[in-house]
Chains A and B, each alone.
Chain A
Amino acid sequence: MNNSSTLFAIIVSSMFVNNIILMRFIGLCSFFGVSNKFSSAIGMSGAVFFVMLLATISSWLIYYFVLVPLNLVFLKIIVFIIVISSLVQFVELFMKKNIPGLFKALGIFLPLITTNCAILGVTFLMLDYKFNLGQSIVYAIGVAGGYSLAILLFSSIRERLEIAPLPNAMKGYSIVFITAALMSLAFMGLVGLFGY
Chain B
Amino acid sequence: MNNVIQTMLLSSGLMIIAGVLIGLGLGFAANKFKIKVDPRKENILKILPGSNCGTCGFIGCEQYASAIVEQNVDISMCRPGGQNAANKIAQILGKESKNVERKVAQVLCSGGVRCKNDFVYSGIKKCSYSKKFFQGQKKCKYACLGFGDCVEVCPFDAIYINEYGVAEVDFLKCTGCGLCVKSCPQKIIKLVGCEYKVHIKCSSKDRGAFVKQICSVGCIGCGICAKVCHVKDIYLDSNLAVMKYDKCDNCKVCETKCPTGSIIFGNGTAKDKKKLGQTNLELNLVK
Interface residues of A (CB under 8 A from B): 66, 70-72, 75, 78-79, 82-83, 86, 89-90, 93-94, 96-98, 163, 165
Contacts and interface: CB of A to CB of B under 8 A. Distances in A.
B26 interface: yes
Which of B7, B19, B29, B126 has its CB near the most chain A CB atoms (within 10 A)?
Answer: B29
Contacts of B22: 82-83, 86
B29 A82 contact: no
B69 to A, nearest CB: 16
| B contact face: mostly helix, strand, loop, or mixed | helix
Interface in B1-39: 7, 10-11, 14-15, 18-19, 22, 25-26, 29-30, 33-35
B276 interface: no
B120 interface: no
B52 to A, nearest CB: 15
Contacts of B35: 96-97
Nearest to A90: B29
Interface residues of B, number: 17
B124 interface: yes
B14 A70 contact: yes
Contacts of B30: 93
25 contacts: A71-B7, A72-B7, A72-B10, A75-B11, A75-B15, A79-B14, A79-B15, A82-B18, A82-B22, A83-B18, A86-B26, A89-B26, A90-B26, A90-B29, A93-B26, A93-B30, A94-B33, A96-B33, A96-B35, A97-B33, A97-B34, A97-B35, A98-B33, A163-B124, A163-B126
Contacts of B26: 86, 89-90, 93
Most buried by A among B11, B19, B126: B11
Contact of B25 (A79, A90, A96, A98): A90
Nearest to B22: A86
Interface string B92-122: 0000000000000000000000000000000
Interface of B: 7, 10-11, 14-15, 18-19, 22, 25-26, 29-30, 33-35, 124, 126
A90 B24 CA distance: 11
A97 B32 CA distance: 9
Contacts of B7: 71-72
Contacts of B34: 97
Contacts of B11: 72, 75
Nearest to A95: B33
B10 A82 contact: no
B66 to A, nearest CB: 11
B120 to A, nearest CB: 15
